Amino acid sequence: VPEHVWRINLDTPEEAQHNLSFGAADRWWEQTDLTKLILASNKLQSLSEDVQLLPALTMLDVHDNQLTSLPCALGQLENLQKLDVSHNKLRSLPEELLQLPRLRSLLAQHNELSLLPEGLGQLLTLEELDVSNNHLTAIPTSFALLVNLVRLNLACNQLKELPADLSAMKSLRQLDCTKNYLETVPSKLATMASLEQLYLRKNKLRSLPEFPSCKLLKELHAGENQIEILNAENLRQLSSLCVLELRDNKIRAVPEEITVLQKLERLDLANNDISRLPYTLGNLPQLKFLALEGNPLRTIRRDLLQKGTQELLKYLRSKIQDEGPGPAEEPPVTAMTLPSQSKVNVHAITTLKLLEYSDQQAAAIPDAVFDAVGGAPVATVNFSRNRLAHVPPRLVELKDSVCDVSLGFNKISCISSELCALQRLTHLDLRNNVLTSLPEEMEALKRLQTINLSFNRFKEFPSVLYHLPALETILLSNNQVGSIDPVQLKGMDRLGTLDLQNNDLLQVPPELGNCESLRSLLLEGNPFRTPRAAVLAKGTAALLEYLRSRIPT
């Protein structure tokens, strides 16, 4: 760092050396001290102790450098509120940091920290702490003193347990413990007064956390663990949940008590071992996304699963009426029910962030539908079951918020650039159209996790899909796909479900067995001779093992 940067408050500007007359605007002797210093994305290997010459700093950003340590003088910056030292090579944080009386945000993710200062709890003003992607094996017990902390990110470390004392963090709203080695979560965490979002994905949990009094928890993400049983009692305690994500576990059954989750909007149970569902699931009034692919469901036909959440819930409700001993109940009226088929449900837009205009047999979406959004952040769009020949161009107006788009059961023959602009998109449903290809511009959809292209007219596997790194689920059944590239598929390390049923595959390349991330590979109804039906019937793990055994050595 050039020396004069540290001395900027001390040295007079050069023009003061000349005897000039100054206007009021640039009289250097009245200048204010430097408050923000950004040195990010350079090649700094060290920071000078001269940083203490800048006592008015409120923000110091040195992220993305090559720092292996920090100067002790940082402790003298008593006005510092935000410190970003992320993406460096720090092995420790100096104890002097604990003297900062106004620090609100400390970002230290992506370093080489193996432990944190024991007295970190002294930073009483801290509101945000990110120490993800380090080598931490334990959390200091003094964390309990951080009573103003709102967001805590501990993801991608080597934690085997969380201290129960964390429950004293009465302001904490978001806790991210993704990708650690947690086998249990202390039930005392339930007493956290403000906790709304809890991320526990990719750990070693065998059951849902026991949260006896968690009144505010809205999101629980516990996918990719080893959960086998959903305990009915645990579910009863989570009555405020809006999002429950349990994909890629080993859950065998869903208890009837799931219906106590009356506020549930998203339920993800993909890639488990569930063979039957309680029909009462159909009565959850707010549920608008239900993922079940990759389960050995016996009671529900596969084509019904592909028709989307609302059709599935309607089917489950009808089954309650078939089996119910009492009089047939009307399915509950929910915010999904349009007050009149011709009007736009403004209530759904504002409360559920849902824009729906489906089952109208419309050749175009009326402008009034988009006008009704009025700047509200729409997350889900459902324009399925119409007669659309094109992607509605005004969809692009929702690009800052929309993440789930359903255009199934239309007559769309090509994908326009408007759809490729929706860069927040995570779920895209294009089933039952007349598509033959996807444009390369779709490579921009870097967050896309699920795409449903079943019942279209693809003759080739759309090559752009190989370049979408976040894809977890590809549904491409009932097309005319003749081949797949196993080498490119192997590069898709998040792909868990690949459905290629009822296509024109004449052979299955043995190298497909190397795609070890696949939890559900569906190939029935193709004209290939090997593997035989008996091998397919044994399930995905056995099928991949069989294919690997056929790779020529």
Which CATH number do you get for residue 455?
3.80.10.10
Amino acid at 33: D
Strands of 331-386 (E only): list them. Answer: 354-356, 380-382
Q: Distance between CA 181 and CA 204 in Å, rounded?
A: 6
Tell me the pLDDT tens digit for each residue of 491-525.
999 999 999 999 999 999 999 999 989 989 999 98
| Exposed e or buried b per residue across 222-261, where buried means at least 16 C-beta atoms within 10 angstroms of its C-beta | bbbbebeebeeebbebbeebbbbbbbbbebeebbebbbbb
The Cα-based distances of 507 to 12, 399, 485, 537 in angstroms read 77, 40, 12, 17
Q: Distance between CA 124 and CA 171 in Å, rounded?
A: 12
Tokens of 80: 């510092």
The burial of 101, by beta-carbon neighbours within 10 Å (0-12 exposed, 13-18 middle, 19 or more buried), is given as exposed
| 313 belongs to a structural domain | no
Which residue blocks in 59-153 are alpha helix, DSSP H? none
Kindly report the average pLDDT of the chain as a whole number. Answer: 88
Query: Measuring CA to CA, which residue among 487, 483, 549, 477 is closest to residue 512?
Result: 487
User: How many helices and strands, by DSSP H and E, does the chain display?
Assistant: 10, 20
Assess whether pLDDT exceeds 90 at residue 300. no
Q: Distance between CA 248 and CA 328 in Å, rounded?
A: 36
Dihedrals phi, psi of 133, to nearest 5 degrees: 55, 55
| 368 belongs to a structural domain | yes
Q: Distance between CA 489 and CA 512 in Å, rounded?
A: 8
Tokens of 200: 């526990």
Tell me the pLDDT tens digit for each residue of 428-487.
999 999 999 999 999 999 999 999 999 999 999 999 999 998 999 999 999 999 999 999
Region 288-297 average pLDDT: 89
| 366 belongs to a structural domain | yes
Contact (Cβ atoms closer than 8 angstroms) between residue 268 and residue 246: yes
pLDDT value of residue 303: 76
| 248 belongs to a structural domain | no
pLDDT value of residue 341: 35
How many domains does the chain divide into?
Answer: 1
| 157 belongs to a structural domain | no
Tell me the pLDDT tens digit for each residue of 332-383.
333 333 333 345 778 778 877 889 998 888 999 999 999 989 888 999 999 9
Q: Distance between CA 532 and CA 190 in Å, rounded?
A: 50
pLDDT value of residue 346: 80
Contact (Cβ atoms closer than 8 angstroms) between residue 305 and residue 274: no
Tell me the pLDDT tens digit for each residue of 379-399.
999 999 999 999 999 999 999
Q: Distance between CA 541 and CA 521 in Å, rounded?
A: 9
pLDDT value of residue 488: 94
- Tokens 């959390």, residue? 139
Tell me the pLDDT tens digit for each residue of 145-179.
999 999 999 999 999 999 988 989 999 999 999 99
Strands of 226-365 (E only): list them. Answer: 243-245, 266-268, 289-291, 354-356
Contact (Cβ atoms closer than 8 angstroms) between residue 119 and residue 142: yes
The Cα-based distances of 389 to 13, 255, 264, 356, 381 in angstroms read 65, 42, 34, 18, 17
Q: Distance between CA 484 and CA 58 in Å, rounded?
A: 55
Q: Distance between CA 238 and CA 212 in Å, rounded?
A: 8
CB atoms within 10 A of CB 338: 17
Query: Measuring CA to CA, which residue among 257, 217, 207, 214 is closest to residue 233?
Result: 257
Assess whether pLDDT exceeds 90 at residue 238. no
Tell me the sheet residues that pair with 404: 380, 427
Contact (Cβ atoms closer than 8 angstroms) between residue 38 and residue 12: no
CB atoms within 10 A of CB 134: 23
Q: How wide is the angle at C-alpha 540 spanned by C-alphas 539 and 545, nearest 5°?
A: 110
- Tokens 């294919």, residue? 547
Tell me the sheet residues that pair with 221: 199, 245
Region 118-129 average pLDDT: 95
Entry field: residues in the chain: 553
User: Is the whole-model pTM more than 0.75?
Assistant: no
Query: Measuring CA to CA, which residue among 483, 472, 447, 474 is closest to residue 306?
Result: 474
Contact (Cβ atoms closer than 8 angstroms) between residue 103 and residue 76: no
- Tokens 């299955």, residue? 508
pLDDT value of residue 526: 92
Confidence of residue 325 (pLDDT cuts 50, 70, 90): very low
Query: In angstroms, how far is the first alpha carbon of the chain from the final one?
Result: 56
- Tokens 């001290």, residue? 33
Tokens of 2: 């050039």
| 519 belongs to a structural domain | yes
Assess whether pLDDT exceeds 70 at residue 52. yes
Contact (Cβ atoms closer than 8 angstroms) between residue 93 and residue 69: no
Region 315-328 average pLDDT: 61
Tokens of 426: 């995570």
Region 23-46 average pLDDT: 80
Confidence of residue 17 (pLDDT cuts 50, 70, 90): low
Tell me the sheet residues that pair with 151: 128, 174
| 253 belongs to a structural domain | no
Confidence of residue 187 (pLDDT cuts 50, 70, 90): confident
Domain that holds residue 480: 346-549
| 169 belongs to a structural domain | no
Torsion angle in degrees (nearest 10) through CA of 288, 292, 293, 296: -160
